[in-house]
Homo-oligomer: A and B are copies of this chain.
Amino acid sequence: MKIELAKSYGFCYGVKRAIDIAEKNPKSVTFGPLIHNKDEINRLANNHNVGLVESLDEALEHDTVIIRTHGITKDRLQRLKADGKKVINATCPYVTTPQQIVEKMSQEGYTIVIFGDEKHPEIQGVASYSVAAERTFTVLDESELSALPLGAKVALVAQTTRKPDAYQAIAAELVVRVQELRVFNTICNATFENQEATEELAKKSDIMIIIGGKNSSNT
């Protein structure tokens, strides 16, 4: 039996960075799972005394709170800071970017369209940075666009782990629907490279085993 590894795999930059931050901050908790990988979260708990809380109320009981790679909503982050917590931000910089874009573009009057899963914490965080919830929409494909009151100016961002071709289809549909479309390429290269390597390896393999979190969009 021949075992071949994909050309690109493993933890991405943002995950490695978050683990590094967590290891350097023992006696802390992460608000929500730091990354979508149970083994790694257990290792951080056992070897580095980094706990996990799931709600804001629980987080407020601790002194040092680490923000997960996927980010959290703006109001929760503000609440933690307002309550004097030591907040350590392990949000992936590639997630911080769409948060900032959504805030700025919504301030400038653009309707916000987010390509992603509205139940995913990253997207809940990104969407929360809009200053105008009534003109902020999350879609999974271009068929959802026709029902939306888009207005004349739209800014489009994508969840970091989405596929580029699906993003292109949404952008193409918007081009003819609005007067001005501003598309920000917020899809992460690491995800894209892993997706390409997976496709390539799948073509020449009998069986593929993908090791990762079942709740992870990266996986």
Contact = CB atoms under 8 A, between A and B. Distances in A.
Interface stretch (A66-74, A161-169, A207-215): A161-169
Quick one: copies of this chain in the complex? 2
Contact of A176 (B167, B178, B179, B180): B167
A56 interface: no
Contacts of A182: 180-183
B180 A181 contact: no
Contacts of A167: 175-176
Given A180-B185, A182-B182, A183-B183, A168 B164 contact: no
20 contacts: A164-B176, A167-B176, A168-B173, A168-B175, A171-B171, A171-B172, A171-B181, A171-B183, A172-B172, A175-B183, A175-B185, A179-B184, A180-B182, A180-B183, A180-B184, A180-B185, A181-B181, A181-B182, A181-B185, A183-B183
Interface of A: 164, 167-169, 171-173, 175-176, 178-185, 187
Contacts of A179: 184-185
A146 to B, nearest CB: 15
Contacts of A181: 171, 181-183, 185
Contacts of A178: 185
A184 B179 CA distance: 6
A100 to B, nearest CB: 13
Q: Which of A167, A168, A175 has the most CB of B within 10 A?
A: A175
Nearest to A154: B183
A170 to B, nearest CB: 9
A171 B168 CA distance: 8
A166 to B, nearest CB: 11
Contact of A168 (B172, B183, B184, B187): B172
Given A168-B173, A168-B176, A181-B185, 5 more contacts: A167-B175, A171-B181, A180-B182, A182-B182, A183-B183
A184 B176 CA distance: 9
